[in-house]
Structure 1
Amino acid sequence: MPFVNSFCLNITLCHGHLAYLAITQTSLSFAIKNALTNSQKWLTLSSGYLREPNMIKICLIGDFKTCPDRSIYKMAAQLADSLSKEKGISLLPCPREHFTRPRSLNRIRRFQPDIIHLLGKPDPAELFRLKMAKLSAPRAKTVISAQQPVKTRTVRNMLSYVKPDLAICLSQKSAGFFGECGVKTVILPNGVDMTNFRPVSPETKAELRRRYCLPPNKLLLLHVGPVRAGRGVDLLRRLQNPDTQVIMAVSNPGIFNRTLLESLRKSGCMILTSFRPNIADLYALADCYIYPMLPEEDANYQIFSSEMPLSVLEAMAANLPVITTPFGALPEMFPEGDGLYYAQDDFEFLKAFQAYTQGTPVKTRTKAEMCSWPEVINRLKEVYTKLLNEKI
C-alpha cells in the first residue's frame, strides 16, 4: 500500500511530534484520530494546515516589536497577543520587517489564512505587502486597519489595484476616504490595556512621586510622545509655572526637533528620553494629561499620530483628566465632559485647565471601557465572521 505509507510519513503535529502509522487501514484511522485529539490547534500536512471546526485562520501583518513607548508597535503587539488567546482563532503573526523574505511568504502559503489583516497607516509600501500576501493566499479576504491614513493620489491608485475587502477605520472621515476608493469600511476603536493602566490611591501616587524625585505638592501635567512641531508641544512651555510641573515622556528620542526640545527644557519642562518599560507609573503619578496635537488643517497629522492616540486612551484608562484638541476620531468616540476637555487653541487650553483645577468629577475611565481589549476583540471577531459570511 504505497499511498498509505507515503501519507503516514508526512503527518506531523504542530508541536513537532511525529505520528507513526502502521500500514493498515484500521491503524491509519486510529492514528489520525489520536493525532487530532492531541493537537491543540491544527495538524500540519505536507500540503498545508488543517484547522479545527469553526476555526478562523488569521494572518496578521504588522510591527510587533517590544517597545512600550511606541504606540503603533504597542497596539500591534497587544492585538496579536489578544487574538492568540482567543478560542476559534488560529493566528499567524508576520512581522513587517521580515515580510519580503521568501520564508515569510512560504509560511503564508502553507498556512492558507481565511483573512489577511494588515496593521498600519496604510501607505503604498504596506499596500504592496498586502498584495504580496494575497498572491500567496488567493482565497483569503484582505483587511486593513487604518491607523494613520495617507490620503494621497498614490494611495488611491494603490487601493484600486490591491482592492482590499475591508478597511477598519477609526473615524468617519477616514471611512469616507476609503469609501470613495471603493473599499467597504467599518468603524472600530483601538484597544487599551485597562488592567495595566488604572487609577491608583493617593498614597500610591505620593509614593511614586517620591520614587521618581518629583515635587509632591505641584500639579503634574503629563504628555507622552515625540517632540515635533506638528504635535503642538510648544503649548506645554506656557503651561509650565511655579505651581505646575510639565513632564514629557519622549517616545522616540532619536527623532525630534532639537531646537524645540531645548526650548521646552529651558522653560522648566521635565523631559524624559530614556526607554521606560514601566510607562504606566507616569500616568499613575500625574494629575492631568495634555494632548495638544495640531488639527489636520494645520499639520500633516497622519505622519505624527494615530487618529485615536493610544496615550490618550491610556490616560483615560488611568482615570486622569484629559485636555486635548478635537483630534482625529476622539470627538466622534468620546463626548466632552466628566474630565474630558476639548480645546482648539492656547486660550481654550488654559480655560480648560482652569476648569479642571475647580475639582470637576473625573470619569474618563468609564468612557474608555468601550476600548478595553476584550471588548475590541469581541467586536473584531464579529467583523471577521461577517466578512467571511459575505455580510459586510
Structure 2
Amino acid sequence: MRWSRMREACRFFGLTPRAGSFAWSRGRRSKGASTHTIRPTGPAGSRRTYQSGPLASTTMRILLLGIDTTVLDEGAKNVATNLASVLAEVDEVLTIHQRRIVFPRNLLRAARFAPDVILSVHGPGPRTILLLFILRILCGFSKTVTIGTQPHDSPVMLRLMRWIGPHLVFAQSKSWRERFRQTGVKVCLLPNGVDLDKFVPYLDATGISKFREVLGIGEDQMVVLHIGPINDNRNYELLARLQRETSFQVIVIGSTSERCLPHLVAMLRSAGALVFMQYFPNISQVYALADIYLFPVMAASGSIEFPLTVLEALACDRPVASTPFRGLPDFLPENPALRYFRDYEELLRLIPELIGQAGGRVAVQEFSWRAVTNQLRAHICSELGVG
C-alpha cells in the first residue's frame, strides 16, 4: 500500500520511482530508443537505465551547482558559467545555485532531472561535502564531482571527505592534490580556463587614448592594474605603497557582487590610486590600459586556487607580475611576459624587465574553456565510467 501511494504521488509530479532503489526517472526516452544499464543505483537487481543512440557513449546529464550569470566578476561564478556553456553543447545540463538547492522546489527539480553526474564548483567545504552526499542519494546514487576552486582549510572537511567524499575531486594546485589524495578520494589536476574570444588584445589606439582621458590618466603615464574584490586578504597595502613610492598610476577595479571594505578603498585613494566599483563589459579595453597587470595576493584565502585575472591579462597580451600563488606556478611557468615575485623589493626589480613584453597570449592558448571542459569530461568518463 505504501509503495502504491508513493507511485501515485510521483506520477503527480511527473516522476517514476523504481522499487528497491532511491533512483527516479522521467520516461524521456523517445519511442523505439534502446536502453542499456550504465551503473547500479541500489540493491541487487536495481539498475539505472539511460537512452542509447548516436550520443550514448558521450552524452551525460549533469546537475551543476553554481551560478549561471552574465556578470562574471567573481571566480567560482565565472567557472560555473563557462563550464555550463561548453558542457551544454554536448550534455544536458541543469544549473542550480548551490545555496538554493536545499529549497524543496529545487530538490524536486534535481530529483526529476535524474543526473548522471552532480558537479559542484564551490569550495569544497564541509557543507559542500554533505550536500553532495545527500544529493547523491536523492538523485539515485549519481556520481558526485567537485572542483577545488577554493578549498576550505578545514580538518572537518577533510574528515568528511574521507567518510562520505565525492567520487572525484579536481584539484587546482599540486598542494591540494596531495591533501585530497590523503583522504582516499580519486583526484585529478584541472586548471581554470579563459574565454579567448572575449579576452583579446585591444589594438584600437584611439579608443585607448579616449579611455585614458575619461579616467584622467595622461598619455605617457605608466599604469599598473589589478582587478578583484577589495578585501583584507588581497594585499592591497602593496598596491598603495607602489602608488606612493613610484611613478606608476595604480588602477583597481573592484567586484560589484562582493562586499568591499571602505577603509581599504580609502587607503588606496588616499595614496593616489584610482578605484572603480563597477562592471566593465568591454574588459579587454580595461586590460589594454595596463603596462603591467599585478596580482599581489599572498594569503591562501585571498583568491581561488587558479586566479582567472592572470589568465585574462595574459590572453589580452599584457605582461603580468604575480606572487607564486597556489596553482599558478603549477600550470603557468615563468616566461618573458609572466614573472613571479615574493616581496615588494623583488617586484621593483622585475618591473623594468616586464614592461613591453609580449607573448602572454601564446602561453594561455591551451587554457581555453573548451580545452579545460574537454579535460574535465575525459577525466569523468575515464575515472568514473560515466558517459
* Cα offsets for 1:291-327 (capped at 9, x unmatched): 0111xxxx3x23x211110111111111110000000
Shift of the 374–355 alpha-carbon distance from structure 1 to 2, 3 Å rule, reads same
Aligned-partner residue type, residue 365 of structure 1: R
1:264 has 2:281 as partner: no
Aligned match for 1:382, one of 375, 378, 381:
378
Structure 1 residue 260: Cα displacement: 2.6
Aligned residue in 2 for 1:91: 93
Q: Does structure 1 conserve the Cα–Cα contact (< 8 Å) formed by 2:291 and 2:319?
A: yes
Structure 1 residue 49: Cα displacement: 7.7
3-state SS of the aligned residue for 1:186?
strand
C-alpha separation between the residues in 2 aligned to 1:117 and 1:317? 27
Aligned residue in 2 for 1:320: 318
Aligned residue in 2 for 1:281: 285
1:221 has 2:232 as partner: no
Shift of the 98–338 alpha-carbon distance from structure 1 to 2, 3 Å rule, reads same
The alignment-based identity, stated in percent, is 31
Aligned match for 1:209, one of 207, 212, 220:
212
Structure 1 residue 51: Cα displacement: 6.4
Aligned-partner residue type, residue 342 of structure 2: Q
1:58 has 2:62 as partner: yes
Aligned-partner residue type, residue 153 of structure 2: K
Aligned-partner residue type, residue 381 of structure 1: R
Shift of the 312–74 alpha-carbon distance from structure 1 to 2, 3 Å rule, reads same
Shift of the 366–232 alpha-carbon distance from structure 1 to 2, 3 Å rule, reads same
Shift of the 253–59 alpha-carbon distance from structure 1 to 2, 3 Å rule, reads closer
3-state SS of the aligned residue for 2:61?
strand
3-state SS of the aligned residue for 2:95?
strand
Aligned-partner residue type, residue 373 of structure 2: I
* Cα offsets for 1:193-248 (capped at 9, x unmatched): 11111112261433432454432221111101122232111111222267421100
Gaps of 5+ in 2: 1-10, 12-29, 34-47
Aligned-partner residue type, residue 177 of structure 1: R
Q: Does structure 1 conserve the Cα–Cα contact (< 8 Å) formed by 2:126 and 2:160?
A: yes
Structure 1 residue 281: Cα displacement: 2.4
Aligned-partner residue type, residue 268 of structure 2: L
* Cα offsets for 1:83-141 (capped at 9, x unmatched): 112x2x12121221320022222222222222111111111122222112101123321
C-alpha separation between the residues in 2 aligned to 1:127 and 1:345? 36
Aligned match for 2:105, one of 86, 96, 103:
103
3-state SS of the aligned residue for 2:335?
coil
TM-score by length of 2: 0.81
Aligned residue in 2 for 1:150: 152
The residue correspondences of 1:302-341 to structure 2 (distance < 5 A) are 302=301, 304-341=302-339
1:240 has 2:243 as partner: yes
3-state SS of the aligned residue for 1:32?
coil
3-state SS of the aligned residue for 1:259?
helix
Structure 1 residue 367: Cα displacement: 1.2
Aligned match for 2:367, one of 368, 371, 377:
371
C-alpha separation between the residues in 1 aligned to 2:116 and 2:307? 30
Shift of the 253–177 alpha-carbon distance from structure 1 to 2, 3 Å rule, reads same
3-state SS of the aligned residue for 2:334?
coil
Aligned residue in 2 for 1:18: none
What is the number of equivalent residue pairs in this alignment? 341
Aligned-partner residue type, residue 334 of structure 1: L
C-alpha separation between the residues in 2 aligned to 1:335 and 1:275? 30
Gaps of 5+ in 1: 1-9, 11-30, 37-46
Q: Does structure 2 conserve the Cα–Cα contact (< 8 Å) formed by 1:56 and 1:114?
A: yes
Aligned residue in 1 for 2:85: 81
Aligned-partner residue type, residue 144 of structure 1: T
3-state SS of the aligned residue for 1:328?
coil
C-alpha separation between the residues in 2 aligned to 1:272 and 1:292? 18
C-alpha separation between the residues in 1 aligned to 2:234 and 2:134? 34
Q: Does structure 2 conserve the Cα–Cα contact (< 8 Å) formed by 1:69 and 1:276?
A: no
Shift of the 110–48 alpha-carbon distance from structure 1 to 2, 3 Å rule, reads farther
Q: Does structure 2 conserve the Cα–Cα contact (< 8 Å) formed by 1:49 and 1:110?
A: no
C-alpha separation between the residues in 2 aligned to 1:292 and 1:51? 50
C-alpha separation between the residues in 2 aligned to 1:253 and 1:214? 27
Aligned match for 2:174, one of 172, 176, 185:
172
C-alpha separation between the residues in 2 aligned to 1:70 and 1:146? 15
Q: Does structure 1 conserve the Cα–Cα contact (< 8 Å) formed by 2:293 and 2:313?
A: yes
Structure 1 window deviating more from structure 2 (336-345 vs 97-106): it is: 97-106
Moved over 4 A (4+): 47-52
C-alpha separation between the residues in 1 aligned to 2:307 and 2:232? 17
C-alpha separation between the residues in 2 aligned to 1:125 and 1:215? 49
